[in-house]
Chain A
Protein backbone atom coordinates (compact mmCIF):
# COMPACT_ATOMS: atom_id res chain seq x y z
CA UNK A 1 0.00 0.00 0.00
CA UNK A 2 1.55 3.30 -1.01
CA UNK A 3 1.79 5.66 1.89
CA UNK A 4 3.51 8.96 1.50
CA UNK A 5 4.92 10.66 4.53
CA UNK A 6 5.42 14.33 3.92
CA UNK A 7 7.22 14.96 7.17
CA UNK A 8 9.50 17.56 5.72
CA UNK A 9 8.38 19.88 8.42
CA UNK A 10 9.86 22.89 10.17
CA UNK A 11 8.82 23.72 13.70
CA UNK A 12 10.17 26.75 15.53
CA UNK A 13 9.10 28.40 18.73
CA UNK A 14 9.53 32.05 19.62
CA UNK A 15 8.47 33.50 16.30
CA UNK A 16 6.89 36.60 17.84
CA UNK A 17 8.63 38.56 20.61
CA UNK A 18 5.60 40.39 22.00
CA UNK A 19 3.63 37.23 22.65
CA UNK A 20 3.75 35.05 25.75
CA UNK A 21 4.53 32.20 23.45
CA UNK A 22 4.58 31.64 19.72
CA UNK A 23 5.43 29.09 17.11
CA UNK A 24 6.00 28.86 13.40
CA UNK A 25 5.30 25.75 11.39
CA UNK A 26 5.99 24.87 7.81
CA UNK A 27 4.56 21.74 6.26
CA UNK A 28 5.05 21.49 2.55
CA UNK A 29 3.41 24.65 1.24
CA UNK A 30 1.51 25.49 4.38
CA UNK A 31 3.12 28.15 6.53
CA UNK A 32 1.55 29.17 9.80
CA UNK A 33 2.38 31.51 12.68
CA UNK A 34 0.57 31.15 15.97
CA UNK A 35 0.92 33.58 18.88
CA UNK A 36 -0.44 32.99 22.34
CA UNK A 37 -1.21 35.96 24.59
CA UNK A 38 -2.18 35.93 28.22
CA UNK A 39 -3.52 34.63 30.49
CA UNK A 40 -5.17 38.03 30.82
CA UNK A 41 -8.17 39.19 32.80
CA UNK A 42 -11.42 38.13 31.14
CA UNK A 43 -13.60 40.92 29.80
CA UNK A 44 -15.88 42.48 32.42
CA UNK A 45 -18.98 41.53 30.47
CA UNK A 46 -18.11 37.87 30.76
CA UNK A 47 -19.67 35.89 33.55
CA UNK A 48 -17.52 34.70 36.42
CA UNK A 49 -15.87 31.43 35.63
CA UNK A 50 -13.75 29.31 37.92
CA UNK A 51 -11.92 27.84 34.96
CA UNK A 52 -9.97 29.71 32.33
CA UNK A 53 -11.29 30.65 28.92
CA UNK A 54 -9.71 29.92 25.60
CA UNK A 55 -10.17 32.36 22.75
CA UNK A 56 -9.12 31.07 19.35
CA UNK A 57 -8.85 32.88 16.07
CA UNK A 58 -7.62 31.65 12.70
CA UNK A 59 -7.12 34.11 9.88
CA UNK A 60 -5.65 33.96 6.41
CA UNK A 61 -3.45 36.59 4.82
CA UNK A 62 -4.75 38.10 1.60
CA UNK A 63 -1.91 36.42 -0.26
CA UNK A 64 -2.32 32.97 1.29
CA UNK A 65 -4.26 31.54 -1.63
CA UNK A 66 -3.62 31.60 -5.40
CA UNK A 67 -6.64 33.87 -5.85
CA UNK A 68 -6.31 36.94 -3.64
CA UNK A 69 -8.49 36.50 -0.59
CA UNK A 70 -10.18 38.86 1.80
CA UNK A 71 -7.70 38.18 4.57
CA UNK A 72 -10.64 37.36 6.75
CA UNK A 73 -11.20 35.13 9.74
CA UNK A 74 -12.17 31.58 9.10
CA UNK A 75 -15.11 30.90 11.40
CA UNK A 76 -15.12 27.14 10.92
CA UNK A 77 -11.41 26.86 11.61
CA UNK A 78 -11.75 29.04 14.71
CA UNK A 79 -14.36 26.70 16.14
CA UNK A 80 -12.39 23.60 15.18
CA UNK A 81 -9.17 24.92 16.68
CA UNK A 82 -10.98 25.77 19.89
CA UNK A 83 -12.52 22.31 20.15
CA UNK A 84 -9.23 20.62 19.35
CA UNK A 85 -7.32 22.47 22.06
CA UNK A 86 -9.75 22.91 24.91
CA UNK A 87 -9.62 19.27 25.93
CA UNK A 88 -5.85 19.37 26.24
CA UNK A 89 -5.40 22.56 28.25
CA UNK A 90 -5.72 22.42 32.02
CA UNK A 91 -8.13 25.34 32.20
CA UNK A 92 -8.37 25.09 36.00
CA UNK A 93 -4.88 26.55 36.29
CA UNK A 94 -5.92 30.04 35.22
CA UNK A 95 -9.39 30.82 36.61
CA UNK A 96 -11.15 34.10 35.74
CA UNK A 97 -8.70 34.72 32.93
CA UNK A 98 -8.51 34.24 29.18
CA UNK A 99 -5.81 32.88 26.93
CA UNK A 100 -5.80 34.15 23.36
CA UNK A 101 -4.58 31.92 20.56
CA UNK A 102 -4.16 33.75 17.27
CA UNK A 103 -3.21 31.77 14.19
CA UNK A 104 -2.23 33.37 10.91
CA UNK A 105 -1.94 31.25 7.78
CA UNK A 106 0.79 32.90 5.71
CA UNK A 107 0.60 30.46 2.88
CA UNK A 108 -2.11 27.92 2.33
CA UNK A 109 -1.69 24.60 0.63
CA UNK A 110 -5.42 24.58 0.11
CA UNK A 111 -7.56 25.36 -2.87
CA UNK A 112 -8.07 28.54 -4.80
CA UNK A 113 -10.28 30.19 -2.26
CA UNK A 114 -10.47 29.93 1.49
CA UNK A 115 -14.00 28.59 1.50
CA UNK A 116 -12.97 25.57 -0.52
CA UNK A 117 -10.00 24.34 1.43
CA UNK A 118 -11.10 21.66 3.81
CA UNK A 119 -8.38 19.73 5.50
CA UNK A 120 -5.08 21.01 4.14
CA UNK A 121 -4.12 23.68 6.63
CA UNK A 122 -6.07 22.90 9.76
CA UNK A 123 -3.85 20.07 11.09
CA UNK A 124 -0.82 22.33 10.78
CA UNK A 125 -2.63 25.18 12.54
CA UNK A 126 -3.63 22.90 15.41
CA UNK A 127 -0.21 21.33 15.90
CA UNK A 128 1.48 24.73 15.69
CA UNK A 129 -0.99 26.21 18.19
CA UNK A 130 -0.24 23.53 20.75
CA UNK A 131 3.47 24.18 20.34
CA UNK A 132 2.86 27.89 20.90
CA UNK A 133 0.81 27.12 24.01
CA UNK A 134 3.65 24.98 25.34
CA UNK A 135 6.08 27.79 24.56
CA UNK A 136 3.88 30.20 26.53
CA UNK A 137 3.98 27.88 29.51
CA UNK A 138 0.25 27.20 29.52
CA UNK A 139 -0.36 23.96 31.40
CA UNK A 140 -1.46 21.14 29.15
CA UNK A 141 -2.09 17.46 29.69
CA UNK A 142 -0.12 16.65 26.58
CA UNK A 143 1.01 18.10 23.29
CA UNK A 144 -1.72 18.09 20.68
CA UNK A 145 -0.80 16.73 17.26
CA UNK A 146 -3.05 16.66 14.26
CA UNK A 147 -2.86 14.74 10.99
CA UNK A 148 -5.20 14.23 8.05
CA UNK A 149 -5.53 11.29 5.71
CA UNK A 150 -7.19 11.10 2.30
CA UNK A 151 -8.77 8.03 0.81
CA UNK A 152 -8.59 7.12 -2.87
CA UNK A 153 -10.42 3.96 -3.87
CA UNK A 154 -8.47 1.55 -1.70
CA UNK A 155 -5.45 3.63 -0.88
CA UNK A 156 -4.81 5.90 2.03
CA UNK A 157 -2.61 8.95 1.63
CA UNK A 158 -1.35 10.81 4.63
CA UNK A 159 -1.07 14.60 4.66
CA UNK A 160 -2.58 15.15 1.19
CA UNK A 161 -1.52 18.02 -1.05
CA UNK A 162 -3.98 20.12 -3.02
CA UNK A 163 -3.98 17.98 -6.16
CA UNK A 164 -4.70 14.91 -4.11
CA UNK A 165 -7.41 16.63 -2.09
CA UNK A 166 -9.42 17.47 -5.19
CA UNK A 167 -9.81 13.88 -6.29
CA UNK A 168 -10.23 12.25 -2.91
CA UNK A 169 -13.12 9.96 -2.02
CA UNK A 170 -12.95 10.91 1.60
CA UNK A 171 -10.84 12.59 4.19
CA UNK A 172 -10.24 11.95 7.86
CA UNK A 173 -8.64 14.33 10.30
CA UNK A 174 -7.61 13.34 13.78
CA UNK A 175 -6.34 15.55 16.55
CA UNK A 176 -4.97 13.65 19.48
CA UNK A 177 -2.83 13.70 22.56
CA UNK A 178 -0.39 10.88 21.78
CA UNK A 179 0.93 10.15 25.28
CA UNK A 180 -2.58 9.95 26.70
CA UNK A 181 -3.82 8.15 23.60
CA UNK A 182 -6.91 10.33 23.49
CA UNK A 183 -8.66 11.84 20.49
CA UNK A 184 -9.73 15.44 21.07
CA UNK A 185 -11.14 16.13 17.63
CA UNK A 186 -12.21 13.97 14.74
CA UNK A 187 -13.81 14.76 11.40
CA UNK A 188 -14.61 12.40 8.57
CA UNK A 189 -16.11 13.14 5.16
CA UNK A 190 -16.82 10.93 2.17
CA UNK A 191 -17.68 7.28 2.12
CA UNK A 192 -15.79 4.87 4.37
CA UNK A 193 -16.21 1.25 5.32
CA UNK A 194 -15.54 0.28 8.91
CA UNK A 195 -12.29 -1.47 8.11
CA UNK A 196 -11.07 1.58 6.18
CA UNK A 197 -11.91 3.84 9.13
CA UNK A 198 -9.99 1.53 11.45
CA UNK A 199 -7.01 1.60 9.17
CA UNK A 200 -7.16 5.35 8.63
CA UNK A 201 -7.44 6.08 12.33
CA UNK A 202 -4.51 3.86 13.17
CA UNK A 203 -2.42 5.51 10.48
CA UNK A 204 -3.31 8.96 11.83
CA UNK A 205 -2.59 7.99 15.41
CA UNK A 206 0.83 6.61 14.50
CA UNK A 207 1.62 9.72 12.53
CA UNK A 208 0.46 11.93 15.41
CA UNK A 209 2.83 10.10 17.73
CA UNK A 210 5.74 10.72 15.37
CA UNK A 211 4.74 14.34 14.91
CA UNK A 212 4.53 14.87 18.66
CA UNK A 213 8.04 13.50 19.01
CA UNK A 214 9.33 16.10 16.56
CA UNK A 215 7.42 18.85 18.36
CA UNK A 216 8.73 17.74 21.72
CA UNK A 217 12.32 17.70 20.52
CA UNK A 218 11.80 21.21 19.16
CA UNK A 219 10.68 22.41 22.59
CA UNK A 220 13.56 20.64 24.33
CA UNK A 221 16.08 22.25 22.00
CA UNK A 222 14.83 25.72 22.89
CA UNK A 223 14.87 24.91 26.58
CA UNK A 224 18.41 23.54 26.51
CA UNK A 225 19.62 26.51 24.46
CA UNK A 226 18.26 29.01 26.95
CA UNK A 227 19.97 27.23 29.84
CA UNK A 228 23.39 27.55 28.33
Chain B
Protein backbone atom coordinates (compact mmCIF):
# COMPACT_ATOMS: atom_id res chain seq x y z
CA UNK B 1 0.00 0.00 0.00
CA UNK B 2 1.29 3.41 -0.87
CA UNK B 3 0.95 6.06 1.80
CA UNK B 4 0.71 9.50 0.28
CA UNK B 5 0.06 12.84 1.88
CA UNK B 6 -2.62 15.16 0.59
CA UNK B 7 0.04 17.37 -1.01
CA UNK B 8 1.60 14.47 -2.83
CA UNK B 9 -1.71 13.28 -4.24
CA UNK B 10 -2.45 16.80 -5.47
CA UNK B 11 0.99 16.96 -7.02
CA UNK B 12 0.48 13.68 -8.89
CA UNK B 13 -3.03 14.56 -10.06
CA UNK B 14 -2.03 18.09 -11.07
CA UNK B 15 0.98 16.81 -12.98
CA UNK B 16 -1.12 14.34 -14.93
CA UNK B 17 -3.65 17.06 -15.75
CA UNK B 18 -0.81 19.19 -17.16
CA UNK B 19 0.74 16.30 -19.12
CA UNK B 20 3.93 16.34 -17.04
CA UNK B 21 4.24 13.48 -14.60
CA UNK B 22 6.45 13.26 -11.49
CA UNK B 23 9.25 11.50 -13.34
CA UNK B 24 9.13 13.94 -16.28
CA UNK B 25 7.19 11.69 -18.61
CA UNK B 26 4.20 12.68 -20.69
CA UNK B 27 0.88 10.90 -20.21
CA UNK B 28 1.44 8.40 -23.00
CA UNK B 29 5.17 7.70 -22.54
CA UNK B 30 6.50 4.43 -21.20
CA UNK B 31 9.40 4.12 -18.80
CA UNK B 32 12.56 2.68 -20.36
CA UNK B 33 12.11 -1.05 -20.93
CA UNK B 34 14.97 -3.51 -20.63
CA UNK B 35 14.69 -7.14 -21.66
CA UNK B 36 16.96 -10.07 -20.81
CA UNK B 37 16.26 -13.48 -22.25
CA UNK B 38 17.36 -16.94 -21.19
CA UNK B 39 17.68 -16.00 -17.54
CA UNK B 40 16.57 -19.37 -16.18
CA UNK B 41 18.44 -22.31 -17.74
CA UNK B 42 16.07 -25.02 -16.41
CA UNK B 43 13.19 -23.77 -18.53
CA UNK B 44 12.44 -24.01 -22.24
CA UNK B 45 12.39 -20.27 -22.42
CA UNK B 46 12.55 -17.37 -20.02
CA UNK B 47 12.85 -13.63 -19.92
CA UNK B 48 13.17 -10.82 -17.45
CA UNK B 49 11.61 -7.47 -18.15
CA UNK B 50 12.23 -4.27 -16.25
CA UNK B 51 10.18 -1.12 -16.61
CA UNK B 52 11.56 1.42 -14.19
CA UNK B 53 11.40 -0.21 -10.77
CA UNK B 54 8.96 -2.90 -11.89
CA UNK B 55 10.80 -6.15 -12.41
CA UNK B 56 9.17 -9.37 -13.59
CA UNK B 57 10.37 -12.76 -14.81
CA UNK B 58 8.44 -15.08 -17.10
CA UNK B 59 9.31 -18.71 -17.71
CA UNK B 60 7.94 -21.21 -20.19
CA UNK B 61 8.08 -24.93 -19.53
CA UNK B 62 6.85 -27.53 -22.00
CA UNK B 63 5.73 -30.99 -20.91
CA UNK B 64 4.22 -33.80 -22.92
CA UNK B 65 0.60 -34.36 -22.03
CA UNK B 66 -2.73 -35.54 -23.35
CA UNK B 67 -5.05 -33.18 -25.24
CA UNK B 68 -8.48 -32.61 -23.79
CA UNK B 69 -11.39 -34.61 -25.19
CA UNK B 70 -13.21 -31.52 -26.39
CA UNK B 71 -10.28 -30.23 -28.39
CA UNK B 72 -8.22 -33.23 -29.54
CA UNK B 73 -6.33 -31.22 -32.15
CA UNK B 74 -4.98 -28.60 -29.78
CA UNK B 75 -2.30 -28.36 -27.14
CA UNK B 76 -2.83 -26.66 -23.81
CA UNK B 77 -1.41 -23.48 -22.39
CA UNK B 78 -1.79 -22.31 -18.84
CA UNK B 79 -0.64 -19.04 -17.37
CA UNK B 80 0.03 -18.50 -13.69
CA UNK B 81 1.39 -15.51 -11.88
CA UNK B 82 3.08 -15.49 -8.53
CA UNK B 83 3.48 -12.34 -6.49
CA UNK B 84 6.52 -12.91 -4.35
CA UNK B 85 6.63 -11.42 -0.89
CA UNK B 86 10.11 -10.18 -1.69
CA UNK B 87 8.42 -7.58 -3.89
CA UNK B 88 6.16 -6.20 -1.20
CA UNK B 89 5.48 -7.26 2.39
CA UNK B 90 1.74 -7.13 1.64
CA UNK B 91 2.14 -10.16 -0.64
CA UNK B 92 3.28 -12.34 2.25
CA UNK B 93 1.36 -15.56 2.85
CA UNK B 94 -1.95 -15.39 1.04
CA UNK B 95 -1.83 -11.61 0.69
CA UNK B 96 -0.65 -11.72 -2.90
CA UNK B 97 -3.17 -14.36 -3.98
CA UNK B 98 -5.90 -11.97 -4.97
CA UNK B 99 -3.62 -9.85 -7.12
CA UNK B 100 -1.97 -12.95 -8.58
CA UNK B 101 -5.35 -14.43 -9.54
CA UNK B 102 -6.44 -11.14 -11.08
CA UNK B 103 -3.24 -10.90 -13.10
CA UNK B 104 -3.34 -14.51 -14.29
CA UNK B 105 -6.98 -14.19 -15.36
CA UNK B 106 -6.25 -10.99 -17.22
CA UNK B 107 -3.24 -12.54 -18.96
CA UNK B 108 -5.18 -15.62 -19.97
CA UNK B 109 -7.93 -13.43 -21.36
CA UNK B 110 -5.52 -11.19 -23.22
CA UNK B 111 -3.12 -13.78 -24.63
CA UNK B 112 -5.06 -16.98 -25.24
CA UNK B 113 -7.79 -15.61 -27.48
CA UNK B 114 -11.28 -16.91 -28.14
CA UNK B 115 -12.55 -20.47 -27.94
CA UNK B 116 -12.12 -21.05 -31.66
CA UNK B 117 -8.53 -19.82 -31.42
CA UNK B 118 -9.11 -16.45 -33.03
CA UNK B 119 -6.82 -13.79 -31.68
CA UNK B 120 -4.68 -16.29 -29.78
CA UNK B 121 -1.05 -15.35 -29.39
CA UNK B 122 0.03 -18.97 -29.50
CA UNK B 123 -1.12 -21.32 -32.22
CA UNK B 124 -2.42 -24.21 -30.13
CA UNK B 125 -2.53 -26.62 -33.06
CA UNK B 126 1.25 -26.25 -33.45
CA UNK B 127 1.59 -27.90 -30.03
CA UNK B 128 0.05 -31.17 -31.12
CA UNK B 129 2.31 -34.21 -31.53
CA UNK B 130 -0.15 -37.05 -32.19
CA UNK B 131 -3.73 -35.88 -32.60
CA UNK B 132 -5.93 -36.84 -29.69
CA UNK B 133 -3.10 -38.60 -27.89
CA UNK B 134 -0.02 -36.50 -27.27
CA UNK B 135 0.44 -32.78 -27.17
CA UNK B 136 2.68 -30.26 -25.53
CA UNK B 137 1.40 -28.57 -22.40
CA UNK B 138 2.91 -25.15 -22.03
CA UNK B 139 3.19 -23.80 -18.53
CA UNK B 140 3.84 -20.09 -18.51
CA UNK B 141 4.74 -18.72 -15.10
CA UNK B 142 5.15 -15.10 -14.27
CA UNK B 143 6.95 -13.93 -11.16
CA UNK B 144 6.74 -10.43 -9.77
CA UNK B 145 10.18 -9.69 -8.36
CA UNK B 146 9.70 -6.02 -7.69
CA UNK B 147 6.51 -4.09 -8.06
CA UNK B 148 6.22 -0.46 -9.02
CA UNK B 149 2.98 -0.40 -10.93
CA UNK B 150 1.91 -1.54 -14.38
CA UNK B 151 2.50 -5.22 -13.60
CA UNK B 152 0.18 -6.48 -16.31
CA UNK B 153 1.96 -4.74 -19.18
CA UNK B 154 5.33 -5.87 -17.85
CA UNK B 155 4.16 -9.47 -17.47
CA UNK B 156 2.69 -9.42 -20.96
CA UNK B 157 5.97 -8.16 -22.37
CA UNK B 158 7.96 -10.72 -20.37
CA UNK B 159 5.77 -13.56 -21.64
CA UNK B 160 6.18 -12.34 -25.21
CA UNK B 161 9.96 -12.25 -24.76
CA UNK B 162 10.02 -15.64 -23.03
CA UNK B 163 7.99 -17.23 -25.83
CA UNK B 164 10.34 -15.93 -28.49
CA UNK B 165 13.17 -17.41 -26.43
CA UNK B 166 11.37 -20.77 -26.16
CA UNK B 167 12.60 -23.86 -27.95
CA UNK B 168 10.31 -26.89 -28.04
CA UNK B 169 12.24 -30.15 -28.51
CA UNK B 170 11.54 -31.95 -31.78
CA UNK B 171 9.58 -35.15 -31.17
CA UNK B 172 9.90 -38.27 -33.29
CA UNK B 173 6.97 -40.67 -33.13
CA UNK B 174 8.20 -44.24 -33.45
CA UNK B 175 7.09 -45.71 -36.76
CA UNK B 176 3.95 -47.80 -36.65
CA UNK B 177 2.93 -46.81 -33.15
CA UNK B 178 1.06 -43.60 -33.94
CA UNK B 179 -2.26 -45.47 -33.96
CA UNK B 180 -1.62 -47.12 -30.58
CA UNK B 181 -3.19 -45.84 -27.40
CA UNK B 182 0.21 -44.74 -26.11
CA UNK B 183 2.47 -44.01 -29.08
CA UNK B 184 6.17 -44.26 -28.43
CA UNK B 185 7.96 -40.99 -28.81
CA UNK B 186 11.53 -39.93 -28.87
CA UNK B 187 12.19 -36.43 -27.57
CA UNK B 188 15.22 -34.89 -29.16
CA UNK B 189 17.55 -32.98 -26.88
CA UNK B 190 19.45 -31.33 -29.69
CA UNK B 191 16.85 -30.11 -32.14
CA UNK B 192 14.49 -27.40 -31.04
CA UNK B 193 11.60 -25.73 -32.80
CA UNK B 194 11.17 -22.03 -32.42
CA UNK B 195 7.82 -20.41 -31.84
CA UNK B 196 6.23 -17.94 -34.14
CA UNK B 197 5.67 -15.07 -31.75
CA UNK B 198 4.70 -12.43 -34.27
CA UNK B 199 1.05 -12.87 -33.27
CA UNK B 200 1.57 -12.52 -29.54
CA UNK B 201 -0.16 -9.30 -28.53
CA UNK B 202 1.17 -6.67 -26.19
CA UNK B 203 -0.91 -5.35 -23.32
CA UNK B 204 -1.42 -1.64 -22.87
CA UNK B 205 -2.98 -0.53 -19.61
CA UNK B 206 -4.56 2.89 -19.55
CA UNK B 207 -5.00 4.14 -16.02
CA UNK B 208 -7.54 6.85 -15.48
CA UNK B 209 -6.53 9.50 -12.97
CA UNK B 210 -8.88 12.42 -12.70
CA UNK B 211 -10.16 13.23 -16.16
CA UNK B 212 -7.12 11.95 -18.04
CA UNK B 213 -5.58 8.56 -18.59
CA UNK B 214 -1.94 7.55 -18.60
CA UNK B 215 0.12 4.57 -19.68
CA UNK B 216 2.66 2.72 -17.53
CA UNK B 217 1.53 4.10 -14.19
CA UNK B 218 3.85 3.80 -11.21
CA UNK B 219 2.39 2.47 -7.98
CA UNK B 220 2.01 6.02 -6.64
CA UNK B 221 -0.02 6.93 -9.68
CA UNK B 222 -1.99 3.70 -9.47
CA UNK B 223 -3.04 4.55 -5.93
CA UNK B 224 -4.79 7.62 -7.38
CA UNK B 225 -6.60 5.79 -10.16
CA UNK B 226 -10.34 5.62 -10.48
CA UNK B 227 -10.29 2.76 -12.94
CA UNK B 228 -7.96 1.17 -15.44
CA UNK B 229 -8.56 -0.60 -18.73
CA UNK B 230 -6.03 -3.13 -20.04
CA UNK B 231 -6.22 -3.66 -23.78
CA UNK B 232 -4.19 -6.24 -25.64
CA UNK B 233 -3.42 -5.45 -29.25
CA UNK B 234 -1.56 -7.55 -31.80
CA UNK B 235 0.62 -6.45 -34.67
CA UNK B 236 -2.32 -6.28 -37.07
CA UNK B 237 -3.98 -3.74 -34.82
CA UNK B 238 -6.73 -6.12 -33.76
CA UNK B 239 -7.92 -6.16 -30.19
CA UNK B 240 -7.32 -9.51 -28.51
CA UNK B 241 -8.70 -8.86 -25.08
CA UNK B 242 -9.85 -6.21 -22.65
CA UNK B 243 -10.11 -6.23 -18.89
CA UNK B 244 -11.18 -3.48 -16.61
CA UNK B 245 -9.88 -2.89 -13.13
CA UNK B 246 -11.18 -0.57 -10.47
CA UNK B 247 -14.82 -0.25 -9.51
CA UNK B 248 -15.62 3.20 -10.84
CA UNK B 249 -17.77 3.21 -13.94
CA UNK B 250 -16.69 4.58 -17.30
CA UNK B 251 -18.64 6.18 -20.09
CA UNK B 252 -18.75 3.95 -23.21
CA UNK B 253 -17.34 6.72 -25.38
CA UNK B 254 -14.28 6.98 -23.09
CA UNK B 255 -13.66 3.26 -23.48
CA UNK B 256 -13.81 3.53 -27.26
CA UNK B 257 -11.44 6.47 -27.06
CA UNK B 258 -9.09 4.41 -24.90
CA UNK B 259 -9.15 1.59 -27.45
CA UNK B 260 -8.01 3.86 -30.26
CA UNK B 261 -5.28 5.38 -28.06
CA UNK B 262 -4.15 1.89 -27.03
CA UNK B 263 -3.88 0.87 -30.68
CA UNK B 264 -1.66 3.83 -31.37
CA UNK B 265 0.54 3.29 -28.30
CA UNK B 266 0.82 -0.45 -28.94
CA UNK B 267 2.47 0.09 -32.33
CA UNK B 268 5.38 1.87 -30.69
CA UNK B 269 5.49 -0.64 -27.84
CA UNK B 270 5.58 -3.65 -30.19
CA UNK B 271 8.45 -2.15 -32.20
CA UNK B 272 10.35 -1.20 -29.05
CA UNK B 273 9.85 -4.65 -27.55
CA UNK B 274 10.83 -6.48 -30.72
CA UNK B 275 14.09 -4.58 -31.01
CA UNK B 276 14.82 -5.12 -27.30
CA UNK B 277 14.09 -8.84 -27.62
CA UNK B 278 16.28 -9.11 -30.72
CA UNK B 279 19.20 -7.38 -29.03
CA UNK B 280 18.72 -9.48 -25.87
CA UNK B 281 18.83 -12.67 -27.95
CA UNK B 282 21.91 -11.46 -29.80
CA UNK B 283 23.62 -10.73 -26.49
CA UNK B 284 22.74 -14.14 -25.13
CA UNK B 285 24.27 -15.88 -28.12
CA UNK B 286 27.52 -13.93 -28.12
Contact = CB atoms under 8 A, between A and B. Distances in A.
A111 to B, nearest CB: 8
B142 to A, nearest CB: 17
A168 B247 contact: no
Contact of A169 (B102, B114, B244, B249): B114
A65 B109 CA distance: 23
B162 interface: no
Interface string A61-96: 000000000000001100100110011100000000
A187 B116 CA distance: 17
Interface string A194-228: 10011001000100000000000000000000000
A183 B101 contact: no
Nearest to A85: B247
Contact of B114 (A180, A181, A190): A190
Nearest to A141: B249
Contacts of A169: 114-116, 118-119
Interface residues of B, number: 36
Given A76-B105, A167-B115, A194-B260, A182 B251 contact: yes
Interface in B113-171: 113-116, 118-119
Q: What interface size band does chain A fall in?
A: 35 or more
A17 interface: no
Contacts of A49: none
Interface string A126-158: 000000000000000000000000010000000
B102 A79 contact: yes
Contacts of A191: 113-114, 118-119, 234, 238-240
A177 interface: yes
Contact of A75 (B70, B101, B113): B101
The 4 closest A-B pairs by CB, nearest first: A190-B114, A191-B119, A182-B249, A86-B247
**Contact residues of B: prevailing secondary structure:** mixed
A185 B244 contact: yes
10 contacts: A83-B246, A86-B247, A118-B115, A168-B114, A169-B114, A180-B249, A183-B244, A190-B241, A191-B113, A191-B238
A197 B258 CA distance: 12
A101 B119 CA distance: 35
B109 A189 contact: yes
B43 interface: no
A205 B252 contact: yes
B242 A187 contact: yes
A171 B118 CA distance: 11
A184 B247 contact: yes
Contacts of B244: 83, 183, 185-187
Given A170-B119, A181-B252, A197-B239, A190 B113 contact: yes
A166 interface: yes
B1 to A, nearest CB: 11
A192 interface: yes
